[in-house]
């Protein structure tokens, strides 16, 4: 019997053997039942055998359980020293980065951030901006119109109307967001991003505008930027200008439009143009991002290609 226990290989076999010895009809159980008829010496022998066998079973059980556990540990362990796949971390998109930087600069100048809907009504995108229905500037912008007469906003200037309507004057705000026009090449996409600044108070002048633009660009590009303005035309500003900045190669780059807010626009927002005046400026910050980070194809911004983003240093 002892050898039989020692040779057992599995817990299941051990259990079966145990039952055949100590179970209801087990051999040892039977022996123990006859104890009353045995002499003292014979009892001592049975008792010793009983104790020894039980001990043996116990030891065998521990041995088998330990072996099972070790086998499990050997197959299921985790090798924490193994190299894993490199983590694929997300990065901030260059456009988001530029937007955050420009916003932070304008906020530091005291401008507060406003947003507006991308599907705009005619009033905010055109009419209030002194661009009535027959006005040629509506055509200039090649807009995406919806069937109900609304439009995918062609410029963030719509946000300045919303801000003036809601806040009144004095006001120092900037609007930021996506804008839409029908164009597509390496430097133009049908959806692009504009930022618009507006400052209306009693004594705001064109030279304040020029100083603001210069400070904004210099902060963004982290060096002293030379700018120039050229006469231009926008229905919602008078006078209207376009502003350029001198790039590293000495070339003038056109950056955006600006001007003194047209009295009609102020009147449309219930502001008295005889008392208040101010400037507005707007530009695409996709362009700003391209220049600052040295990226040359605008379309890549929208491809969502992580390899390109990584190679761009983001
Ligand atoms: N909204 C003009 C554009 O899209 C830019 C602009 C903004 C011009 C504010 C003047 C004042 O080109």
Let me know if residue 16 belongs to a domain. Answer: yes
DSSP sequence for 97-164: HHHHHHHHHHHHTT-EEE---SEE-HHHHTGGGT--TT-THHHHTT--B-TTS-EE-S-THHHHHHHH
- Residue after which a domain boundary falls, among 20, 46, 75: 75
Q: At what angle do helices 11-22 and 40-76 cross, to 10 degrees?
A: 160
Nearest Cα residue to 7 out of 49, 74, 51, 63: 63
Q: How do residues 5-31 score in pLDDT, each as one tens digit? A: 889 999 999 999 999 999 999 999 999
The answer on 159 and 233 residing in a single domain is yes
Tell me, yes or no, whether 159 and 122 share the same domain.
Answer: yes
Q: Are 188 and 61 found together in one domain?
A: no
Residue ranges making up the domain that contains 64: 2-75
Boundary (domain end) residue, out of 13, 45, 75: 75
In this structure, the answer to whether residues 65 and 119 fall within a common structural domain is: no
Work out the number of other CB atoms within 10 angstroms of the CB of residue 168.
Answer: 13
Per-residue confidence band for 142, with pLDDT thresholds at 50, 70 and 90:
confident
Domain-embedded: residue 86:
no
Element (H, E) at 261: strand 252-261
Question: Distance from the CA of 304 to the center of ligand 1, in angstroms?
Answer: 28
Residues 159 and 297 in one domain: yes
Q: How far is the CA of 94 from the centre of ligand 1 (A)?
A: 23
Residue 72 in tokens: 């499990």
Indicate whether 59 and 145 sit together in one domain. no
Name the 3-class secondary structure at 191. Answer: strand
Atom of ligand 1 nearest to the CA of 257: 8
Nearest CA to ligand 1 atom 7: 282
Residue 101 lies in a domain: yes
In short, whether 281's Cβ falls inside 6 Å of ligand 1 is yes
* Residue 228 and residue 157 share a domain: yes
Does 130 lie in the same domain as 27? Answer: no
Does residue 152 share a domain with residue 300?
yes
The upper half-sphere exposure of residue 182, i.e. CA atoms within 13 Å in the direction of its Cβ, equals 9
What pLDDT score was predicted for residue 126? Answer: 94
Q: Is the backbone peptide bond immediately before 146 cis, with ω within 30 degrees of 0?
A: no
Q: Are 117 and 235 found together in one domain?
A: yes
- Say if ligand 1 is within 6 A of residue 237 CB: yes
Mutate to test the pocket of ligand 1, among 124, 137, 157, 285 (most ligand atoms within 8 A of CB): 157
Question: What are the pLDDT digits (tens) for 198-253?
Answer: 999 999 999 999 999 999 999 999 999 999 999 999 999 999 999 999 999 999 99
- Ligand 1 centroid, distance to 248 Cα (angstroms): 25
Domain boundary among 45, 75, 105: 75
Flag whether 84 is in a domain. Answer: no
**Domain assignment present for 268:** yes
**pLDDT tens digits for range 87-126:** 777 788 999 999 999 999 999 999 999 999 999 999 999 9
Nearest ligand 1 atom to the CA of 141 is 4
Could you tell me if residue 87 is inside a domain?
Answer: no
Distance 240 CA to ligand 1 centre (A): 9
Number of domains within the chain: 2
Position 140 confidence tier, pLDDT thresholds 50, 70, 90: low
- 253: number of Cβ within 10 Å: 13
Percentage, residues of the chain above pLDDT 90:
72
Pocket test for ligand 1, best of 154, 155, 174, 266 (most atoms within 8 A of CB): 155
Answering whether pTM is above 0.85, one says no
Is residue 106 one of the residues assigned to a domain?
yes
- Residue 83 placed within a domain: no
Q: What is the pLDDT of residue 242?
A: 98
Task: Choose the residue to mutate in 197, 235, 257 for probing ligand 1, maximizing ligand atoms within 8 Å of C-beta.
Answer: 257
Determine whether the shortest distance from the Cβ of 175 to ligand 1 is under 6 A: no
| Neighbour tally for 226: CB within 10 Å | 12
pLDDT, one tens digit per residue, over 144-190 is 999 998 999 999 999 999 999 999 999 999 999 999 998 877 777 88
User: For position 141, what pLDDT does the model report?
Assistant: 61
- Cβ–ligand 1 contact at 255 (below 6 Å): no
**DSSP annotation string for 37-87:** GS-HHHHHHHHHHHHHHHHHHHHHHHHHHHHHHHHHHHHH---TTS--PPP
Q: What is the pLDDT of residue 280?
A: 98
Q: What CATH number is associated with residue 228?
A: 3.30.930.10
Based on the domain organization, do 161 and 267 belong to the same domain? yes
DSSP H helix total and E strand total for the chain = 12, 9
| Cα of 116 vs its chain's centroid, Å | 21
Looking at residue 8, the DSSP 8-state letter turns out to be: -
Distance CA 302, CA 304 (A): 6
User: Can you give the length of the chain in residues?
Assistant: 314
Do 9 and 150 lie in a common domain? Answer: no
């Amino acid at each position: 019997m002892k050898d039989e226990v020692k040779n057992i290989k599995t817990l299941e076999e051990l259990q079966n053997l145990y039952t055949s010895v100590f179970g209801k009809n087990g051999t040892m159980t039977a022996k123990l039942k006859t104890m009353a008829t045995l002499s003292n010496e014979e009892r001592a022998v049975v008792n010793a055998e009983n104790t020894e066998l039980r001990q043996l079973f116990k030891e065998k059980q521990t041995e088998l359980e330990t072996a099972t556990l070790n086998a499990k540990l050997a197959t299921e362990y985790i090798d924490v020293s193994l190299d894993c796949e490199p983590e694929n971390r997300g990065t901030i998109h260059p456009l988001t980065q530029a937007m955050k930087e420009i916003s932070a600069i304008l906020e530091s100048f005291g401008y507060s951030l406003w947003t507006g809907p991308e599907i705009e009504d005619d009033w905010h995108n055109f009419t209030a901006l002194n661009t009535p229905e027959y006005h040629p500037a509506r055509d200039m912008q090649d807009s995406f119109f919806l069937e109900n007469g609304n439009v995918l906003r062609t410029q963030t200037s719509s946000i300045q109307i919303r801000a003036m309507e809601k806040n009144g004057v004095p006001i120092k705000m900037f609007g930021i967001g996506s804008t839409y026009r029908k164009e597509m090449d390496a430097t133009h996409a049908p959806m692009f991003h504009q930022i618009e600044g507006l400052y209306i108070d009693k004594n705001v002048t064109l030279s304040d505008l020029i100083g603001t633009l210069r400070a904004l660009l210099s902060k963004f590009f982290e060096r002293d930027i030379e700018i120039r303005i050229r006469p231009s035309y926008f229905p919602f500003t008078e006078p209207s200008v376009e502003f350029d900045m001198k790039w590293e190669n000495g070339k003038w780059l056109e950056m955006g439009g600006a001007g003194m807010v047209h009295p009609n626009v102020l009147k449309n927002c219930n502001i008295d143009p005889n008392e208040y005046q101010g400037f507005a400026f707007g530009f695409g910050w996709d362009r700003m991002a391209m220049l600052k980070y040295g990226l040359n194809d605008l379309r890549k911004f929208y491809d969502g290609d992580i390899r390109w983003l990584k190679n761009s240093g983001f």
